[in-house]
Homo-oligomer: A and B are copies of this chain.
């Protein structure tokens, strides 16, 4: 019986076409994001917001949000406003991080960064506008069949993931660490937990909350997302060393140049890769409880460590 179950599970996973799944979900997200920001007067700010938001990201974060909602028993429609909000927050953090006063980057997702096209003033405001819209969007666009208490919980989680206890705090420590070669593993973990993992966790957990996740569900989702968050960052650090700028779509070798301490610089590339692999396996185990419904989230976890850009 157990053997049969395992066999069925493996064949379910084998049948699952992740590439087609991601492509379809990406298209759904692109359409929703496109519709979220019509261009009206003053056009420049809406265009600047759209320039970065619709710059062809992989939509990993909103797809995680949607997939979690479905695994917990919710619908795509219920979770789509939250999925759009996490992509708006992610995009806003990229626009601000790329500014001359921060990481001073000229390219992002293979295109000129926002301030290179629209100027620093508009880039700062475009980030602010996306951030405001993210919260407004969850509050106004979540379907009426979702209890308001859930939307409020999502807003609280997104605010925390973004603020000084999340993305913003991680970026502060990252900026402080630049040029220092004696950064501890503890500090490095703090940076990544806050800059990367906090928002990934919010994507997954908020997708669950919108669908009515129980406290037990949220515990499992939290552990899954923390594991893939760290794996994601380790692979990002490895790619910064091994990938070409063309594949990465942003300036490659930036961490080395900035003398940033990274996981591969602490552990070497091979051990880093092994740790990422282990984190992903543990993440997948967390979701075993949900059976076949967990297949998309498990496949996405594996995708994170196998990507080449």
Report which A residues bind B (CB closer than 8 A). 41-42, 44-46, 49, 92, 96, 99, 101-102, 119-122, 124-125, 127-129, 131-140, 147-149, 151-153, 155-156, 158-160, 162-164, 166-169, 171-173, 175-176, 190
Contacts A139-B159, A155-B155, A164-B49 given; does A96 touch B122 at CB 8 Å: no
Contacts A136-B159, A155-B136 given; does A169 touch B45 at CB 8 Å: yes
- Shortest C-beta distance, A104 to chain B (Å), equals 10
Known: A96-B124, A133-B164. 5 other contacts (CB 8 A): A102-B121, A132-B159, A136-B155, A139-B152, A139-B159
Q: Is the CB of B42 within 8 A of A172?
A: yes
Contacts A96-B128, A162-B132, A163-B133 given; does A139 touch B168 at CB 8 Å: no
Residue of B nearest to A160 (CB): B136
Give Cα A132 to B167, complex, Å.
10
Residue with the highest number of chain B CB atoms closer than 10 Å, among A138, A162, A163, A169: A163
Q: Is the CB of B119 within 8 A of A101?
A: yes
Give Cα A121 to B175, complex, Å.
8
Q: Is the CB of B155 within 8 A of A139?
A: yes
Give Cα A131 to B133, complex, Å.
12
Pairs across A and B, CB under 8 Å, 20 listed: A42-B169, A42-B173, A44-B176, A46-B164, A96-B128, A99-B124, A101-B121, A102-B124, A121-B175, A125-B171, A125-B172, A128-B162, A131-B131, A132-B164, A132-B168, A136-B155, A138-B155, A139-B152, A147-B148, A151-B152
